[in-house]
Amino acid sequence: MFSDYTQKAIEVAKEAGKILRQGFGSTFTITNKEGKNNLVTDYDHRSEEFIIESLSKAFPETIFLAEESGLSSQWKNDIPIWIIDPLDGTVNFAHNLPIFSVSIALSQNKEIFTGVIYNPILDELFVSEKGHGAFLNGVKLKVSTSQRLEESFLVTGFPYNIDSNPGYCIDQFIQMLKMGIPVRRLGSAALDLAYVAAGSFDGFWEINLNPWDVAAGFLLIQEAGGKVTKYNGDPYWITDNNILATNGLIHDELSQTLISCYLEITNGI
């Protein structure tokens, strides 16, 4: 049985998903936040307002970090904080592509206790609670068993400012393709992580994500037996600038490939 927090997060994520499902394919306003393709729609706001209102009514002691409204008050480690992406995959949603999700996590003292990701189009509900496992529609999740990078199925994403600040992500992507590895780019980091937890993908990497993109998925992967670190293998926290999440078995090989690509470029080899 999940905690009251997790149960409420499930209820709220499903309701927010209903709002997005109703909006999907309809006419709505799309605006640019910053940069040319960082979009926001009416539905990002509607979903977020609904989530924050519902959770703050149920748990007045909690605070919020949500993509569209930011921090509700100062982030102090010991205060439970909901970390929310009300619509992860806005560019897909805005172009009527049915790959997006709602992501809700609860954190305290630099740990995630609840992670819920809901895909409203496929009605996929991913739930994890610290120490209680990870589940997809009630079925326990386990990461994949692929042992070698060259036999893996991977997913990644690119930052909105990739044209002006690509980091090494284009080169890393090309490197994987050169190795013959199938790599997908779904456009919802929360779903990318959820599908690693579910064993569909063997690994995921991305730079410049925000806490709301990754907080719920971070817990899901850990609870499904996977591994999450920075690219170089160092311990990861959701405010870090790069994330590497795998089934654990291909982790070192993928980490080395990402880092060696970086070294080759910086050393001009």
Q: Is residue 229 within a helix (H) or strand (E), and if so which, with residue range?
A: strand 227-229
Residue 189's contacts (CB-CB under 8 Å, 6 or more residues apart) are: 88, 157, 204, 206, 209, 213, 214, 217
Could you give the 3-state DSSP secondary structure of residue 125?
Answer: strand
State yes or no: residue 103 binds ligand IPD (CB under 6 A). no
d(CA 19, CA 30): 16
Nearer to Ca ion, 85 or 223 (CB): 85
Chosen residue from 120, 187, 199, 217 binding ligand IPD by CB under 6 A:
187
The 230-259 site mask, x for binding ligand IPD (CB under 6 A), equals ------------------------------
State yes or no: residue 120 binds ligand IPD (CB under 6 A). no
d(CA 154, CA 135): 21
Instruction: Considering only the stretches 11-19, 86-94, 140-148, 159-167, report the one whose residues sit in contact with Ca ion under the rule CB under 5 A.
Output: 86-94
Contact 113, 130 (CB under 8 A): yes
Phi, psi of 105 (to 5 degrees): -130, 155
Nearer to ligand IPD, 35 or 151 (CB): 35
Residue 23 partner contact from ligand IPD, Ca ion, none using kind-dependent CB cut-offs of 5 to 8 Å: none
Instruction: Considering only the stretches 17-25, 50-58, 154-162, 216-224, report the one whose residues sit in contact with ligand IPD under the rule CB under 6 A.
Output: 154-162
Residue 212's contacts (CB-CB under 8 Å, 6 or more residues apart) are: 65, 66, 67, 83, 84, 85, 88, 103
Q: Could you say which residues in the range 174-233 bind Ca ion, by CB under 5 A? A: 213
Token pair of 199, please? Answer: 């064993």
Nearer to Ca ion, 213 or 223 (CB): 213
Instruction: Considering only the stretches 4-12, 120-128, 138-146, 186-194, report the one whose residues sit in contact with ligand IPD under the rule CB under 6 A.
Output: 186-194
Q: Which residues would be at the binding site for ligand IPD (CB under 6 A)? A: 85, 88-91, 157-159, 187-189, 206, 209, 213
